[in-house]
Amino acid sequence: MNLGKATEQKVQEIVGTCEKHGRDSIVLLSGVAGTGKTFIALNAAVRFAEHPLLVKQIQFHQSFTYEDFFEGLRPNRSGGFEARAGIFMDWNEAALRDSSNRYVLLIEEFTRANITAVLGELMTYIEYRARLFETPVTRRRMRIAGNLTILATMNPQDRSALEVDDALIRRLRIVECPPSVDQLKEMLAESLPNRGEEESGQLIIEKLTHLFEECKKRYPDTFNDLMPFGHGIFSGISSEDDLRELWNQRIRYLIRRNPQVPAHAFAKDIEELYPWRSAAGGEGATKT
């Protein structure tokens, strides 16, 4: 896959971080929704591992447990319980058996789970790969494979991200993935007619670029972590009608949920800077 220059640079940054720190840290991509974290992480993971079959992709959620991730007891057909390996243990065993290759576990929405509960003692042994430890259920002696890299993504706006403690942060290598006007331009060149070189396409690129740049100028200290959406929200845009539809169906709900919920801190600025806030008739039209 041919990536744009800005996207390629970010993928290379992630691969370089995996090369340097993947043996003793979790490499974590941090960015608001719509900054292309999953796309970049998956491209970087496949490039680092050198084959897509050496990359396992999972997603954490609120009900994800230590038993799902590492090992636990599961009901069997006879009405009893049996020990069963979780996702991480299975992938770690595969890496241990195949030490000549690099393996990657890609975890999306890393902070959506109760991280300290899900990782358990692995927080220590991810850092110290040579140490043997005993599994809590099967009492097996094992270690974390040196050729297994954990790559993850998170949105710093998630409430659960605020609960990440120092012990975990010490085992992370955090790579920021902020909204990027360079990646925005590359993406719009792929979706707009004639690669956005027509006057209408140039206007769209100019206005959207200005929106991000102006928000960053007005909120320099909080832009990376608080912008309610990233450049990826405009993926697939091919016309101004698409932008009006996107406003009425998504963006306006990101900045103003309902009267009972306070508006986003950037709401007035985004409303000022986004020129496609009206629709041709219909109750969904936003008044300006």
pLDDT digits (tens, 9 = 90+) for 139-175: 889 999 999 999 999 998 876 655 677 888 899 999 9
Give the pLDDT score at 162. Answer: 57
pTM: 0.89
Cα–Cα distance for residue pair 271/122, rounded to 1 Å: 46
Give the pLDDT score at 167. Answer: 83
CA–CA distance from 232 to each of 22, 36, 62, 153, 188 (Å)?
27, 6, 25, 15, 10
The token pair that represents 83 in the structure block: 């020990």
Q: Is the Cβ–Cβ distance between 285 and 244 less than 8 Å?
A: no
The token pair that represents 169 in the structure block: 């942060």
pLDDT digits (tens, 9 = 90+) for 56-72: 999 999 999 989 999 87
pLDDT digits (tens, 9 = 90+) for 24-53: 999 999 999 999 999 999 999 999 999 999
Cα–Cα distance for residue pair 205/220, rounded to 1 Å: 22
| Residue carrying structure tokens 């800005």 | 6
Does residue 251 register a pLDDT over 60? yes
| Residue carrying structure tokens 């992370």 | 172
Residue 148's DSSP bridge partners are: 103
Q: Is the Cβ–Cβ distance between 29 and 153 less than 8 Å?
A: yes
pLDDT digits (tens, 9 = 90+) for 104-139: 999 999 988 888 889 988 889 999 999 999 988 888
Strands 81-85 and 71-75: antiparallel
H or E segment to which residue 254 belongs: helix 252-255
Q: Is the Cβ–Cβ distance between 254 and 264 less than 8 Å?
A: yes
Cα–Cα distance for residue pair 110/107, rounded to 1 Å: 6
Give the pLDDT score at 23. Answer: 95
pLDDT bin (cut points 50, 70, 90) of residue 288 is very low
